[in-house]
Chains A and B, each alone.
Chain A
Amino acid sequence: MEKFTTLTGIAAPLAMENIDTDMIIPKQFLKTIKRTGLGAGLFYEHRFDEQGEKITDFVLNRAPYNEAKILVTGGNFGCGSSREHAPWALLDFGIRCVIAPSFADIFHNNCFKNGILPITLSQEEVDRLMDDAERVANATLTVDLETQTITEASSEEGNGGSISFEIDPFNKQYLLEGHDDIALTLKREDKIEDFEAGQKQSQPWQWIGQTQEGET
């Protein structure tokens, strides 16, 4: 997984609440057996009409937002289906940071597994960044994970400041270091084996039931 340290890029405003993962990546793109190439399907039904033509006024189809690296959006982002194709599609499109007042749990988890930083801010702070993003001249933000700050562009009309954000220390370290988390877990192999040995004693039905199939 790619590390996340700092990111400077265009922030695209998508002011909508409860954006679900079906909307982020519709079902027809879930038939792939690969993780790559899903950017083409990102927000597909909003970016393309039924004939496959670009819907030119959708934010991610307009310059400079078609180059966005950051998405500023509404609450409960990523609700619904657990499909990791949603962060894969964002990543493949070039978006590595999503800023919203709240996130759905599974999507939030899936972001960290893919080097995407989901930032939760107050509604007022999101509104301010949404305002930045909507004014093209101010749409460039810099996100620094180590110092947990978002710096706004300092043009004349801009809000021109910085906003700090909170992040769970476990997830922060995870992104900063870009771990292979399976390798890390397997370092605790002995502990997993000890747990299993204990459970076989205390809850044998968890283990015996599996071998009974066909015996009855």
Chain B
Amino acid sequence: MSESRTLFDKIWTSHVVDRSKDGACLLYIDRHLVHEVTSPQAFEGLRDAGRTVWRADAVLAVPDHNVPTTDRAAGIDDPESRLQVDTLMQNCEEFGIRCFAMDDLRQGIVHIIGPEQGFTLPGMTIVCGDSHTSTHGAFGALAFGIGTSEVEHVLATQTLFQTPAKNMRITVDGELGPGVTAKDVILAIIGKIGTAGGTGHVIEYAGSAIAGLSMEERMTVCNMSIEAGARAGLIAPDETTFDYLSGRPLAPKGAVWEQAVAHWRTLPSDEGAHYHCEENLDAAEIAPQVSWGTSPEQVAPITGTVPNPAAQSNPAHREAIERALDYMGLAPGARLTEVAINHVFIGSCTNGRIEDLRAAAALAEGRKVAATITAMVVPGSGLVKEQAEEEGLDRVFLEAGFQWHEPGCSMCLAMNADKLEPKERCASTSNRNFEGRQGRGGRTHLMSPQMAVAAAVSGHLCDVREMA
């Protein structure tokens, strides 16, 4: 057997507590993020069985999915949402878990606040009852989404039974063109390998274009690993990672920090390590992407057209395209740049960080949102919001005609009051364009923050590279 190991192999083997006779591993979990939607039944299970939380200091909780993004002082209008958030707060108090309440400056989307606080560190195993836990893989941590039964299992035991994933490497070499972002890279990858392309695998993103990304851009890439079907996404930790983490509130300090960094430098995949499958992309060939359908794999360069289902030989694919076009209200062959929109959403765990807001504001400055459009910016956390306001980004957005909101998941999944009406069409920086995702009958086009601003200003999907 080869001695060369991948980043995934190294993290996996260093967390095996025990092996069952049929090959499943009991894996130690270093960090557990908790939010209000997928945890109440888990806490109820603990309570019913008279169990305690194994390691409360390894858990960080925050309400994010249900929280209002306007007028927060008034509390939560919707009684069900309010009950869910109140239940989280009560459970955290009862079980001794740290929780950032709705009025805490550190509150925000669970996958934004973990990295922001330094709760997420390289080499860790991290779980959360949320599929976008893959975000934390940007730090070289094995991070994956779990269901509520597994949330309960981790709360009670700090472990999970898992079978090993396969290794997949996606290498993106070269330089990204102007106006092309990390979001375009991951959308292009999903377009290439499909929404089940990574099933059963952990995807390691590699190559010069990936190494050249900032931490926040890496998080955007890893965030959408789940949209490629992968169990997790990973990027090798490097100086960019260490620079980002240094000095974060929960990151180690002093001599222990030095010891940690020395260990983290040993994590990247060894030369000659084995991957079960590989894909390669040329960064220079990636154009700004937009989704046209109801699955994240239904994506195309903005210069392209809506596909024609009649040209599909596979009947299942043809039906899927027909169904998507019917839902999206698009005609086969239509130019994407001619698709008019009426809503813009900038935010989410994919693109709700400070760099996203800076890039969007830089483009919005001195421009106006088209009169036909409602456009909203929702920062990913209270700290992102504060930083943006210090930099004056809120004023740029407001002057351009965008709404400026309180942090939360918001219209990414429309569990709070932020949602589309039937047939409303949204340029969105979020991660899912499923039917009904942003509101029943709502139509979602996924894209980068810059592309969303371009759409807001022009009133239709638009190539950001043409906005001189």
Contacts and interface: CB of A to CB of B under 8 A. Distances in A.
A73 B157 CA distance: 35
Interface string A193-209: 00110010001111011
A27 to B, nearest CB: 5
Given A18-B295, A205-B259, A206-B124, A32 B320 contact: no
Interface in A9-30: 15-18, 20, 22-23, 26-28, 30
A82 B130 contact: yes
Interface in A75-93: 75-76, 79-84, 87
Contacts of B83: 31, 33
Contacts of B199: 76, 102, 104-105
A109 B150 contact: yes
B150 A33 contact: no
B233 interface: no
Contacts of A205: 121, 252, 256-257, 259-260
Interface in A168-216: 168-170, 173, 180-182, 185-186, 188, 191-192, 195-196, 199, 203-206, 208-213, 216
B28 A79 contact: no
Contacts of B297: 18
Given A22-B432, A192-B158, A216-B253, A206 B30 contact: yes
B281 interface: no
B252 A212 contact: yes
Contacts of A113: 147, 149-150
B163 A23 contact: no
A80 B430 CA distance: 13
Interface residues of A, number: 62
Interface string B35-69: 00110110010000101001101100000011000
Given A33-B83, A82-B147, A208 B256 contact: yes
Contacts of A80: 131, 226-227, 432, 434
A106 B153 contact: no
A21 to B, nearest CB: 9
B17 A182 contact: no
Given A17-B316, A79-B195, A185-B26, A23 B436 contact: yes
B13 to A, nearest CB: 12
B449 interface: no
Contacts of A203: 123, 260, 263
Contacts of B441: 50
Contact of B81 (A31, A170, A213): A31
Contacts of A75: 196
A199 B31 CA distance: 14
Contacts of B196: 18, 75-76, 79, 102, 104
Contacts of A27: 413-415
Given A82-B131, A182-B157, A32 B436 contact: no
A22 B434 contact: yes
Interface in B295-330: 295, 297, 316-317, 319-320, 323
Contacts of B156: 182, 185-186
A54 interface: no
A114 B440 contact: no
B422 A50 contact: yes
Nearest to A194: B17
A110 interface: yes
Interface in B108-164: 118, 121, 123-124, 129-131, 144-150, 152-153, 156-159, 161, 163
B407 interface: no
B157 A192 contact: yes
A109 B129 CA distance: 13
Given A102-B196, A205-B257, A83 B38 contact: yes
Contacts of A30: 37, 65, 415
Given A22-B437, A23-B434, A27-B414, A84 B320 contact: no
A169 B22 contact: yes
B250 interface: yes
Interface in A106-133: 106, 109-110, 113-114
B249 interface: yes
B20 interface: yes
23 contacts: A17-B317, A28-B415, A76-B196, A83-B37, A102-B199, A106-B145, A106-B147, A169-B23, A170-B20, A182-B152, A182-B153, A185-B157, A185-B159, A188-B26, A191-B17, A192-B17, A192-B26, A196-B158, A203-B123, A204-B256, A205-B256, A208-B256, A212-B253
Q: Nearest 5 A-B pairs (CB), nearest first?
A: A113-B149, A84-B147, A205-B252, A33-B40, A110-B147
Interface of B: 17-18, 20, 22-24, 26, 28, 30, 37-38, 40-41, 44, 49, 51, 54-55, 57-58, 65-66, 78, 80-81, 83-84, 87, 118, 121, 123-124, 129-131, 144-150, 152-153, 156-159, 161, 163, 195-196, 199-200, 226-227, 229, 231, 249-253, 256-257, 259-260, 263, 295, 297, 316-317, 319-320, 323, 413-415, 422, 432, 434-437, 440-441
Given A104-B196, A106-B147, 5 more contacts: A45-B435, A79-B229, A188-B17, A192-B157, A212-B250
